[in-house]
Chain A
Amino acid sequence: MYRYDEFDAAFVGGRVAQFSDQVRRRLSGELNEDQFRPLRLMNGLYLQLHAYMLRIAVPYGTMSSRQLRKLAHIARVYDRGYGHFTTRQNIQFNWPRLKDIPAILDELASVEMHAIQTSGNCIRNITTDQFAGAAADEIIDPRPVAEILRQWSSLHPEFTFLPRKFKIAMTGAPNDRAAIRFHDIGLQAVANASGEIGWEVWVGGGLGRTPMIGKLINSFVPHEHLLAYLESILRVYNRYGRRDNKYKARIKILVHEEGLETIKGQVEAEFAEVRGGVLTLPQAELDRINAYFAPPAFEALAAQKIDVARELILDPAYGRWLEHNLHSHRQPGYVSVTVSLKPIGGAPGDATAEQMEAVADLAERFSFDELRVTHEQNLVLPHVRISDLRAVYDALVAAQLADGNSGLITDMIACPGLDYCALANARSIPIAQAISQKFASEERQKEIGDLKIKISGCINACGHHHVGHIGILGVEKKGGELYQITLGGDATENASVGKILGPGFEADAVPDAIERLVDTYVSRRESPAETFIAAFRRLGDAPFKEALYGAG
């Protein structure tokens, strides 16, 4: 893992001191709220419905045990004993008090964490594949480049007041688990004809009120020129992105309105100016950062097959967990383990301080002290020996974290919604809970197979509803909540945006509506191997529409 150097430590320490003084001045009345608000937002401190919310960056979703233990400590001492992991691989605390923020930031800095650039019109936390550095299908670990991008984008003087926020996601594997086509910039590792590895650059993707699939602006940018190329895109966006209308200010609108070829021409012109200059990434620097992400000291183990069928008979719960929560590792004898934060009836992404400590202990004992946060609001132990799986599972059972539902219908994304969020129009969490309870049966979940439901409580789409196989969008109607259902979204390399099927549903009718969609899929699929999204693409929306609204 990356460790702060003297510059990083001084920079974060300096920011803590600066913001602590700003908090002091706010509390004493030297600053009013109009003056203070932009300062607190630059430090990840929002005001939500009930209290402040502090959003803490987890750079590219990678954490150590020590860091997760610190988050648990903060949850317990300064908050209400739990935290909420988000779709941007960050964590949010929902109940901090303003006077405690300096102490919290000080605690975070002691473990090389902060809340800088988790708000505001700047480059936000760069997200990656949660199995980076571990996945069997990976071409390259994207995290060293993600770290370099973090350093480049942190307090970048030119990009601190962009037209709007800017999100970058990257994956080192051809199977996109980081939703890169729905980010302002998506980076996908590729090899060129001569076998060199570089980056495909996708631009102008996004969700929100105007969902767009990113467009390929460059099919191969070598490592050494990546910073210059991204700087060129940001410069074009910073210059031409709309500032007259907040809802049209993201780069996706610029690319859409101007056309990819125009933007590409502008980016290339800018790139021609800066290419080969100070932003060229020397191999020595890349090697230096790469060293932080060197593979851990894996044992040389023989490839080992996990006999899931046997375990399903001996211990069905363990068998289901093995069947669904493991991901193939590039190192023989190891797997990556998804720790589900989606218990039946729970709030997606929430973890208690005790659960965080339990996972931190497991990472320390069984995963080379490393952890990941997923954009689907789960945690990952990236490097677990197959022979340790039973011990890991037993410990997760004790921590009430052993749900074997990764990728299944109950593994939903949901934003905090109107229970917490000042922007929301409708609640998300109770909808997720009700659907989870409806499909609680393990047999039923297994029968349905891979199915992604994503729920947002407003059009800003923090719950990624546009890319849910089934998406649910809460809207306000006549003072109450109404839920629109979309079908056919997909956040992977086969990217698609879901389409609204018809009129919305009252909250208590949503679980039944989802069940009708699921029943339609199960009855119409060619075989259990045909997933929901595959069946939807083959069948179109007609049978699903009929299931919801009747024939005609």
Chain B
Amino acid sequence: MEILTGNELTSGATVYLNAQGQWVEDLQNARVFGANEAEARDAAIAATKKTLRIISLETEKVSLVDGVVTPERLRERIRATGPTAPVFDRQHLSEDGHVSI
């Protein structure tokens, strides 16, 4: 299973594509693409690129653990929440940072 993630242009904030085609802050709202949804995933990537507003666009492998979207890589788990030492809140989107496809 995969999600799409990137950083929003103006704030640099970590964002995820949700099922409504919006790029949002919350990992748990991310649309999880199954193995048979490659076409939809690629269409979402293409549509996102057209916006020019999401950078460092990546697919990330995840699993669902008791319904919780859990990235395989530690890097992605840290990206989702913010630095761990000291703990800082993640970057948030500015008012002009909402992107949809």
Contacts and interface: CB of A to CB of B under 8 A. Distances in A.
A and B together in one complex: yes
Contacts of A481: 74
Given A419-B83, A419-B84, A427-B84, A51 B9 contact: no
A52 B7 CA distance: 9
Contacts, number: 70
Given A419-B78, A479-B73, A97 B12 contact: yes
A33 B52 contact: yes
B38 to A, nearest CB: 23
A418 interface: yes
Contacts of B11: 51, 97-98
B10 interface: yes
Contact of B85 (A26, A29, A33, A430): A430
Interface in B38-57: 52, 55-56
B14 A32 contact: no
A52 B12 CA distance: 5
A50 B84 contact: no
Contacts of B12: 47-48, 50-52, 97-98
A419 B85 contact: yes
Nearest to B11: A97
Contacts of B14: 49-50
Contacts of B55: 33, 47
Contacts of B13: 50-51
A51 B14 CA distance: 7
Contacts of B83: 50, 419-420, 429
B79 A27 contact: no
B82 interface: yes
Nearest to B90: A50
A420 B84 CA distance: 9
Interface in A379-429: 418-420, 422, 424, 427, 429
A480 interface: yes
B28 interface: no
A427 B75 CA distance: 9
Interface string A69-105: 0000000000010000000000000010111000000
A429 B85 CA distance: 6
Contacts of B56: 47, 422
Contact of B10 (A98, A420, A430): A98
Interface string B62-101: 0000000000111100110011111010110010000000
A171 interface: no
A422 B75 CA distance: 9
A95 B14 CA distance: 12
A47 B14 CA distance: 11
Contacts of B74: 418, 476, 479-481
Interface string A342-369: 0000010000000000000000000000
A97 B73 CA distance: 26
Contact of A99 (B10, B75, B79, B90): B10
A128 interface: no
Contacts of A98: 9-12
Interface centre among A47, A50, A52, A476 (most CB of B within 10 A): A50
A97 B82 contact: no
A27 B84 contact: no
Interface string B1-36: 000000101111110000000000000000000000
A450 to B, nearest CB: 26
B54 to A, nearest CB: 9
Contacts of B90: 50
B84 A51 contact: no
Interface in A18-35: 26-27, 29, 32-33
A336 interface: no
Interface in A33-59: 33, 47-52
A340 interface: no
B52 A418 contact: no
A97 B94 contact: yes
Contacts of A429: 83, 85-86
A250 B99 CA distance: 40
A418 B75 contact: yes
Nearest to A422: B56
A430 B84 contact: yes
Nearest to A434: B85
Contacts of B75: 49, 418, 424
A80 to B, nearest CB: 7
Contacts of B52: 29, 32-33
Interface centre among B7, B72, B79, B83 (most CB of A within 10 A): B83
Contacts of A424: 75
Interface string A312-329: 000000000000000000
A502 B4 CA distance: 38
A429 B79 CA distance: 16
B91 A27 contact: no
A378 interface: no
A207 B81 CA distance: 31
A422 B56 CA distance: 10
B10 A50 contact: no
A412 B55 CA distance: 34
24 contacts: A27-B10, A29-B52, A33-B52, A47-B12, A49-B75, A49-B78, A49-B79, A50-B79, A50-B83, A50-B90, A51-B11, A80-B88, A97-B10, A97-B11, A98-B11, A98-B12, A99-B94, A347-B86, A418-B78, A427-B85, A429-B83, A429-B86, A476-B74, A479-B72
Given A33-B9, A49-B78, 10 more contacts: A47-B7, A47-B55, A49-B14, A51-B91, A98-B10, A98-B11, A347-B86, A427-B85, A429-B83, A479-B72
Interface of A: 26-27, 29, 32-33, 47-52, 80, 95, 97-99, 347, 418-420, 422, 424, 427, 429-430, 433, 476, 479-481
List the 7 closest A-B pairs by CB distance, nearest first: A51-B12, A419-B83, A430-B85, A51-B91, A52-B12, A429-B85, A33-B55
